[in-house]
Amino acid sequence: MQTAKSMTLHLQQAISYKRAPFDTSEAEHAYQQLLSFLDSAEVGSEGCLALTSTLSLLFAGIQDPPTEEIRNRVEQGLEMPPHQDPHQIEPGTYTFIQLAVPEHLRTLFDQIPMLFDGPNRIYVRLLKENALAIVAQMWISR
């Protein structure tokens, strides 16, 4: 896999996630389950894995496609309504990388230098962009 270019992302509001519809404590298994879930989910659905720099799974979450109201709020930069979901990506500054979805989770982490003693939290977002494409994003806390 070719090294992807990164950029800095400043998240102003939390992104919330419901609990994933599967139960596992192993990161690779959660990744495979999330890909399988998204394969049959609606376009616009997404999943998120929160991991430590040693690849321990902190949570696996999902999000339904955004409603028209939420899409409009995002486009206008408005505050999101409060959420009751158990998981979230916290506001902050992240190194952001977008890639094609690899077969295995470990392949994504080859993109991060000094992983073992690196960031305390890494988010892997998987977004179903259309009926045939799922895109992977890595958000690395700074």
Residue 71 lies in a domain: yes
Q: Which of the two residues, 73 and 120, has the higher pLDDT score?
A: 73
Instruction: Tell me the average pLDDT of the chain.
Output: 89
At residue 89, the 3 state secondary structure works out as strand
Q: What CA–CA distance (Å, rounded) separates 33 from 30?
A: 5
Write out pLDDT tens, residues 41-86.
999 999 999 998 888 999 999 999 989 998 898 888 888 888 888 8
53's tokens? 């720099």
Q: What percent of the chain has pLDDT over 90?
A: 63
Question: 93 falls in which pLDDT band (50, 70, 90)?
Answer: very high
> Is the pLDDT confidence value at 94 over 60?
yes
Residue 46 in any domain: the answer is yes
Whole-model pTM over 0.85: yes
Q: What is the pLDDT of residue 120?
A: 76
Cβ(23)–Cβ(37) below 8 Å: no
* 1: in domain: no
Q: Is residue 81 part of a domain?
A: yes
Range of the domain at 13: 7-141
**Beta partners for 109?**
none
User: Which band of pLDDT confidence, cut at 50, 70 and 90, is reported for residue 6?
Assistant: confident
Is residue 2, in this structure, part of any structural domain at all?
A: no
Tell me: pLDDT of 114 over 70: no
Residue 59 lies in a domain: yes
Contact 43, 132 (CB under 8 A): no
> Is 116's pLDDT higher than 70?
no
Token pair listed for 63: 């999000």
Measured CA to CA, the distance from residue 61 to residue 23 in angstroms comes to 11
42 φ, ψ (degrees, to nearest 5): -65, 150
Q: What is the CATH number of the domain that holds 22?
A: 3.20.80
**Structural domains counted in the chain:** 1
Does residue 15 belong to any structural domain of this protein? yes
